[in-house]
Structure 1
Amino acid sequence: MIAFAVDSAETARQILEGVKLIKFAESLGGTESLITYPIRQTHTDLTAEECAEKGITDCLLRFSTGIEATQDLIDDLAQAFAAVE
């Protein structure tokens, strides 16, 4: 699992909408790769101050790799980033 920040909440939204192979979900209990938006999914019970203390912003995405081919995951992320306007 890796977490990374992008330049804006809009960029985060576009990436989440742009991935095709990678699923936008918290956990499906399976082996597929997932991407999440912690501030709106897994950390909604925290206050804004608590999120800030933990580095959870509206620019943060979390990516968990599954068993798909590495190059397929790289290609999916690359096309999602390339489509950001």
Structure 2
Amino acid sequence: MKEKFKLKAEYITLGQFLKETMIISSGGMAKWYLRENAVFVDGELETRRGRKLYAGMMIEIPEEGTFFMEKMTDESSEDQLNEIN
């Protein structure tokens, strides 16, 4: 499944992204999750929870989906913050 993730700031870390998308329930789980599961950022395996994700990047998580990072536009409303379409 392909989804869009709207950034409300310049970037989000991979650990924060996993929590925001509800793949993990707490930030402390990020290190464990990345050790046990494959996560690809722009086609390369990523194991760093602090990896910065910017608009235009693609995150692939087998069995979870593919996510495209997008910068939130000025026209976006409050309820669209970090919305997953």
Tell me the TM-score normalised to structure 1 length. Answer: 0.27
Which of the pair is proportionally richer in strand?
2
Which of the pair is proportionally richer in helix?
1
